[in-house]
Structure 1
């Protein structure tokens, strides 16, 4: 039995095939194409033919993709969204789409309504919930929206009203109509959670295109026995059915795949990871083998949200980053890059642009292209450029460190050839022969994941009961995503007391993982 993993990055599309013991059999790196699907087909074709793999033995196929992120940033293929906020009149002072870029709101439509209802911080109703208002709006919007975002005040305490609106929506708009409820997407904070829910509802068409494109690419290579999974942004997998409900969870999956791949290749569970690509370097944190989650609000395409995202710092340094030499001999590095055109533009490949890859070849750090083409680069200039490269990486690592002590660093990515052998603040750098495709490996070795968050008042609910409940709910999420029930294990539980709320109010979150349910594959 084989596993196929694909990771689509901004510059390269990487592919690997692993056996049932998770040994890497073959890997490939191809250029990402504008239509994405062609690049995926090229990568699959390359690995399948690399070792004459029996495609009928490929039973699982995993995809990490930037399509959702790109759709939001580029304002393409987004669906029309209707928004029902349950919280009138308490929330009327700040309307939906407040502080959104105007160009994206025009695409998503301006259909929103504030519905009587919502809860206080302790779970008490603010005003009676109006089912009639919900039905009126949904009947009015029939045929005019592609997805529905449902957001209730303090639904993290009680999501009953959100679930009721969802049931009414399926009754009026159809059982298959995409409905996103905020309690299963965002965290505490009405506006950030609402924004994330709106984006999730807008991405339904995008995720359908992604899954169809991946399925077509697999079919073209006669891979017909594989169950398909998409990568979540916490380093785990989800089924296509689950991804259809929560497409926003694919945002940021690329960096997390690299972090998980770095953990697998290095066998290190706690370290900083540096993934150097063609254009940028992503610096992340491994905590117990998984990416550290960001504690800050995340802005996606100009929209501020509060759904989970990996804690990753991106700096403008990659294998294609342009190096410039001034008349006075000073050297600057980036942040602009020749990106996926490096094999045409870089000096070692016969181009006319001095890049960081040329510097690495000139200093003997790697052997690619034609080294004779960079012999004319002055040694002093090359050393100055390398010191700049080191300084950029050292500054990024320093920003991600949690103490002044030297740290372990796992170096991956196709552009890792440009990194120096030693860095200040780093006690040891670990590399791997397969580091260039760590992102695809991370996608392939991942488990099914589930996460759940809720607010409890410990003055009224036993702490043990709250922990048990949130772990159970996270397990249910994992099962929905495709995990085998008896393999689920808790990997992280966090408790955050909310100082401004009475009754020992605490935000509790659990993360679980489980093995792929083979019965569901069948």
Structure 2
């Protein structure tokens, strides 16, 4: 009896889907337009591949979803939760208020209920002052019925999370179990403001993640699939269970590009390369290191807010298959950054629309066969060649930014829009366009492993380095198992140990990541 898996990746323009057998061979693939409500696009894509592959539905045991729902909600400032922001850190942190440096329009949406409570810890785990529980009970009564999600951040909670956990207990006691609570010690790393921002953003997209998860479950049920385990793609190119995803939706924000990187690695069998993922709206350029996306070491901005949780190192440029090209009277032109997105089949010239897009340019120059080429024959070829050269140059610049040396490296082209790019690129030792490259993101979602990561400060004078590393490894493995990994097939894939010279007690920051295969289905799950 075969076991099959479905991988779906929702992009801004297309929803891609694949169905794989137990050897991860592609049995069916499709691209269908992403829809306004997203669920319809997922349903259409899933319906197509299941009917095309025609495998027994009860043997489809895994379903993976990579989605940009949460990212888009933050960027567009739409569909966000009503959030209460609670910082435990008075009187020490009053000088810098929560949400400082966040764009005003986002602050207006998320900054309606902001509270500073006495409490928090020093960097060595000592209490600054004891937690003001009375104040927390007062706040809980005040926000009752007004918010549905709470972001709790305490000073140095990666060292001691006791105040965050007690605050969470109080809110649950007063507001009931249904209120979503995000704790910063479980989300970001040491810097207070970035960790707080990441926690607030996490709290703001809980509903969006729930709706995405429910839409995915319903789409599976409508297709008669009742016993599949569902996973979401996360930022580091691995998977997490639905329950985990709804608790930590912020970890999904960059999973589209990272799925593409994982898919590119799998399709080419290359573990180290640069990947260019050309979608309908943007191109994302990332780096594969040992088959996983290279992680960013800097604070990463999401929707204008600085955060410090695990994110892939990516350069995103406004160039995709639907990018709008504007030509002025004097022959000057601009490429993007805006795009017709999923409306390419109605808007672009080759499909009878009125908007000149990058796809029209490639068709007019004979580089791509698509639509009706006669609709673009009237365009000035010399000018279009200049536009095309500019498009290629944008990609080459992005590749150059991501390289760590001047030496040429292999470049893998994936994504539906990759047909726009030529066979050679400056800075590339070779340009590879693998089979099934158009749906590399969905393949990446389907074949990924599950991971767990932990980042903490340990005082070595108290427990010693060996014990600290062991503790961190154990916690990372527990996280991976909670996210859905098989406890017997887990590996520690990354360890970082950074001594903190400015702290007493010989402190060190340890980050450990464990990854492993999906836990085998032992019990029947129902969705």
Give 1:516 shift.
1.9
SS in 2 for 1:5: strand
Any residues of structure 2 matched to 1:46-61 within 5 Å, and which? 46-61=48-63
Give 1:386 shift.
2.7
SS in 2 for 1:484: strand
Any residues of structure 2 matched to 1:215-294 within 5 Å, and which? 215-294=217-296
2:150 aligned partner: 148
In 2, Cα distance between equivalents of 1:139 and 1:255: 42
Any residues of structure 2 matched to 1:346-385 within 5 Å, and which? 346-385=348-387
Kept after mapping to 2: 8 A contact 1:233/1:310: yes
2:216 aligned partner: 214
In 2, Cα distance between equivalents of 1:236 and 1:319: 27
Kept after mapping to 2: 8 A contact 1:80/1:109: no
1:19 aligned partner: 21
Q: Deviations over 1:321-361 (max 9, x none)?
A: 23455556565433333322222233333344433223333
**Which one is further off, 74-83 or 304-313?**
74-83
Give 1:398 shift.
0.7
2:522 aligned with 1:519: yes
In 1, Cα distance between equivalents of 2:371 and 2:4: 33
SS in 2 for 1:488: strand
Give 1:232 shift.
1.0
1:404 aligned partner: 406
Kept after mapping to 1: 8 A contact 2:194/2:307: yes
TM-score scaled by structure 2?
0.93
2:447 aligned partner: 445
Kept after mapping to 2: 8 A contact 1:272/1:408: yes
Match of 2:419 among 417, 420, 425: 417
Q: Deviations over 1:278-323 (max 9, x none)?
A: 1211101111111111122222223222222111111111122234
Match of 2:206 among 204, 226, 245: 204
In 2, Cα distance between equivalents of 1:355 and 1:367: 15
Match of 1:497 among 496, 499, 523: 499
In 1, Cα distance between equivalents of 2:91 and 2:392: 55
In 2, Cα distance between equivalents of 1:162 and 1:450: 21
* Inter-CA distance 17–393: structure 2 relative to 1 (3 Å threshold): same
Match of 1:120 among 115, 119, 122: 122
* Inter-CA distance 316–160: structure 2 relative to 1 (3 Å threshold): same
Kept after mapping to 1: 8 A contact 2:85/2:111: no
Kept after mapping to 1: 8 A contact 2:272/2:288: yes
Match of 2:312 among 303, 310, 313: 310
RMSD: 2.1
* Inter-CA distance 117–14: structure 2 relative to 1 (3 Å threshold): same
Any residues of structure 2 matched to 1:293-332 within 5 Å, and which? 293-325=295-327, 332=334
Q: What is the number of equivalent residue pairs in this alignment?
A: 522
In 2, Cα distance between equivalents of 1:110 and 1:73: 19
Give 1:40 shift.
0.9
In 1, Cα distance between equivalents of 2:319 and 2:288: 21
Kept after mapping to 1: 8 A contact 2:65/2:231: yes
Q: Deviations over 1:43-78 (max 9, x none)?
A: 111111223233222111111111111222222222
Unaligned stretches of 5+ residues in structure 2: none
In 1, Cα distance between equivalents of 2:514 and 2:255: 17
Unaligned stretches of 5+ residues in structure 1: none
2:196 aligned partner: 194
SS in 1 for 2:518: coil
Kept after mapping to 2: 8 A contact 1:411/1:431: yes
2:70 aligned partner: 68
In 2, Cα distance between equivalents of 1:256 and 1:2: 22
Kept after mapping to 1: 8 A contact 2:260/2:444: yes
**Which one is further off, 271-280 or 382-391?**
382-391
In 2, Cα distance between equivalents of 1:135 and 1:179: 15
SS in 1 for 2:232: strand
Any residues of structure 2 matched to 1:470-489 within 5 Å, and which? 470-489=472-491
SS in 1 for 2:485: coil
**Which one is further off, 389-398 or 349-358?**
349-358
Q: Deviations over 1:143-183 (max 9, x none)?
A: 33212222111111121222222233333332343221111
1:110 aligned partner: 112
Kept after mapping to 2: 8 A contact 1:386/1:420: no
In 2, Cα distance between equivalents of 1:103 and 1:520: 47
Kept after mapping to 2: 8 A contact 1:294/1:309: yes
Give 1:3 shift.
0.7
